[in-house]
């Protein structure tokens, strides 16, 4: 294969970052279809609840400081598909309503690099009520270049020092995908690790995802004494690495730290960072580390350096909270870059309860076990895990057939809990471009439970969602629902539609003959 000439780049300036950027700008919300870019682990109701509880904790802490006049702004960086924001908003609103105590108002701001995503969120049906209430707005934000936020709905521009309340920053799977420096520590000295990037000839005609699959990277070291000088802003962190590490490669998040500095400057009170990623906060994880591998999923990501982000915050008087145990799939951190961070008691307690004690990573570990043992679980176990996961739509989708097989032995209490779960799930369902078939699955289960009124509602939604791909079983179930509910004319209409699709359907013919005979 003919190849382009190798070119040497500083790691943060290598073409992989521009290709990654192009991927998200071109794909828009389609990037998350069918988990091309993974999204469940940071877009389920369980992690949404954990974040809502920590945000609620900060609102309580601010109320305790008598800071209730100005709204607390919550800025989500790289909001992606948008499901996470919905889960946070729904749970946060429930908490505020349930508590019924004086709290400062809040506004959630979804941001992304891709303007197509920002435009799509503004018209998404699940978000309209929050927009109407004025508690949700949007902005295009380039974390590498921008220094202010221009809100799409209100037109407000938030710039340096405009906010009096602490800014809450949400950054899930964000720091792992923006440019980073790659350093090498050897014999107490700092080197930059440059990269040689090589693409096949004609690669510029390929889609970004294909370019990332075909790019070849190799590395070389270059002495970088500037990191050791007094004037370097993160010298204390680098000094720690020089002292503690040997023969180690480190992704150093200069762009992420600069972005946090910009966002910190928007508020006179500092920020609370809530973040989840493949990211290491323990220094031991960097010892003798090899150069990073690109983790491909349409785009690419690398492992975030939470140690550096947390250490820099603490050097500036902040508090960095990460689990005391090791994570397996996702690391969730809470960084308080605030004056007297220990006084934010409710925020810290929420982190302890909803991350440290049992958090999103623990839940995902359990889900992996459930995935393997789904066919041996009984209904009470499935309902318990579904309840733990906040009645998540994807958990329902993967278990609906198993639930159906267990209904014959289900008691009335389990059926009532299943009905309640379906209603809760539907209330938080965030429609994406990929098809889940949730309304159809829910309608068929409710039909098996003889819940004809509820079944009819969901089955009719299924027809509206995909009128060109209606299976005959759906018309039959709808006809029976109507007859059971005393809606004979509507039942006959569905029966005739069934016969148009399947003229020899025996049950449908019998129904028509029955009514014609009467």
Q: Are 515 and 493 in contact (CB under 8 A)?
A: no
Q: Which tens digits make up the pLDDT trace of 110-156? A: 999 989 999 999 999 999 999 999 999 999 999 999 999 999 999 99
Query: Pairing mode, if any, of strands 189-198 and 216-223?
Result: antiparallel
DSSP string, 378-426: -HHHHHHHHHHTTS-HHHHHHHHHHHHHHGGG--HHHHHHHHHHHHHHH
Size of the chain in residues: 518
Owner of token pair 């895990």? 385
Produce one character per residue of 273-289: b if its CB has 16 or more CB atoms within 10 Å, e if not.
bbbbbbbbbeeeebeeb
pLDDT at 2: 38
Integer Cα distance of 69 and 65 in angstroms: 11
- Average pLDDT score over the chain: 92
Q: What pLDDT is recorded for position 117? A: 92
Q: Is the pLDDT of residue 243 over 60?
A: yes
Residue matched to tokens 């005979």: 517
Q: What is the pLDDT of residues 483-505, one digit of tens each?
A: 999 999 999 999 898 888 888 88
Nearest to 144 by CA among 237, 239, 77: 77
3 state SS for 145-207: CCCCEECCCCCCEECCCCECCCEEEEEECCHHHCCCEEEEEECCEEEEEEEEEECECCHHHCC
CB atoms within 10 A of CB 517: 6
Evaluate whether 320 touches 335 at the Cβ level (below 8 Å). Answer: yes
User: Do 298 and 199 touch, CB atoms closer than 8 A?
Assistant: no
pLDDT of 34 reads 53
Question: Which pair of tokens denotes residue 232?
Answer: 């370097």
Q: Domain residues of the chain, as ranges?
A: 48-178+256-358, 365-516
**Pick from 148, 152, 142: nearest CA to 160:** 148
Q: How confident is the model at residue 3 (pLDDT cuts 50, 70, 90)?
A: very low
In sequence order, the β-bridge partners of residue 140 are: 112
Topology of the domain covering 365-516: 1.25.40
Question: pLDDT tens for residues 281-333?
Answer: 999 999 999 998 887 777 888 899 999 999 999 999 999 999 999 999 999 99
pLDDT tens per residue across span 393-451:
999 999 999 999 999 999 999 999 999 999 999 999 887 655 568 999 999 999 999 99
Contact 395, 371 (CB under 8 A): no
Answer yes or no: are the C-beta atoms of 220 and 9 closer than 8 Å.
Answer: no
Rounded distance, CA 143 to CA 24, Å?
14
Q: Does domain 48-178+256-358 have CATH number 3.40.50.150?
A: yes
Percent of the chain's residues with pLDDT above 70: 95
pTM value?
0.93
């Amino acid at each position: 294969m003919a190849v382009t000439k190798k070119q040497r780049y500083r790691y943060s300036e290598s073409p992989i970052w521009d290709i990654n950027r192009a991927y998200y700008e071109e794909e828009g919300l389609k990037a998350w279809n069918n988990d091309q870019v993974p999204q469940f682990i940071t877009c389920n109701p369980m992690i949404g609840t954990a974040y809502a509880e920590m945000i609620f904790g900060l609102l309580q802490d601010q109320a305790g400081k008598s800071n209730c006049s100005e709204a607390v702004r919550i800025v989500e960086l790289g909001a992606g598909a948008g499901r996470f924001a919905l889960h946070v908003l729904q749970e946060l609103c429930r908490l505020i309503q349930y508590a019924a105590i004086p709290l400062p108002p809040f506004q959630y701001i979804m941001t992304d690099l891709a303007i197509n995503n920002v435009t799509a969120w503004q018209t998404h049906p699940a978000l309209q009520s929050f927009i109407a209430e004025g508690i949700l707005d949007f902005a295009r934000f380039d974390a590498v270049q921008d220094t202010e936020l221009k809100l799409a709905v209100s037109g407000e521009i938030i710039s340096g020092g405009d906010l009096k309340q602490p800014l809450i920053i949400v950054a899930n799977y964000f720091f792992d995908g923006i440019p980073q420096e790659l350093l090498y520590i050897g014999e107490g000295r700092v080197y930059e690790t440059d990269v040689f990037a090589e693409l096949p000839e004609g690669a510029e005609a390929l889609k970004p995802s294909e370019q990332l699959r075909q790019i070849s990277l190799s590395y070389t070291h270059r002495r970088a004494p500037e990191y050791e000088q007094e004037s370097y802003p993160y010298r204390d962190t680098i000094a720690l690495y020089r002292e503690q590490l040997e023969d180690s490669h480190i992704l150093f998040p200069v762009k992420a730290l600069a972005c946090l500095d910009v966002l910190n400057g928007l508020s006179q009170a500092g920020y609370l960072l809530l973040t989840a990623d493949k990211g290491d906060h323990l220094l031991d994880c960097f010892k003798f580390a090899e150069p990073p591998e690109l983790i491909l999923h349409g785009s690419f990501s690398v492992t975030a350096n939470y140690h550096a982000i947390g250490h820099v915050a603490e050097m500036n008087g902040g508090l960095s909270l990460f689990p005391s145990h090791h994570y397996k799939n996702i690391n969730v951190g809470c960084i308080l870059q605030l004056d007297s961070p220990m006084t934010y008691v409710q925020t810290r307690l929420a982190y302890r309860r909803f991350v440290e004690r049992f958090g999103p990573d623990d839940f995902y570990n359990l889900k992996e076990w459930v995935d393997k043992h789904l066919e041996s679980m009984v209904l009470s176990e499935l309902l318990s895990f579904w309840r733990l996961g906040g009645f998540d739509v994807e958990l329902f989708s993967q278990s609906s057939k198993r639930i159906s097989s267990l209904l014959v032995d289900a008691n009335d209490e389990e059926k009532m809990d299943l009905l309640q779960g379906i209603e809760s799930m539907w209330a938080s369902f965030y429609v994406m471009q990929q098809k889940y078939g949730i309304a159809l699955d829910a309608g068929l289960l409710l039909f098996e439970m003889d819940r004809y009124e509820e079944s009819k509602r969901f089955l009719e939604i299924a027809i509206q969602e995909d009128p060109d791909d209606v299976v005959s079983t759906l018309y039959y179930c709808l006809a029976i629902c109507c007859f059971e509910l005393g809606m004979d004319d509507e039942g006959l209409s569905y029966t005739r539609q069934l016969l148009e699709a399947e003229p020899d359907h025996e049950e449908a013919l019998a129904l028509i003959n029955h009514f014609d005979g009467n």
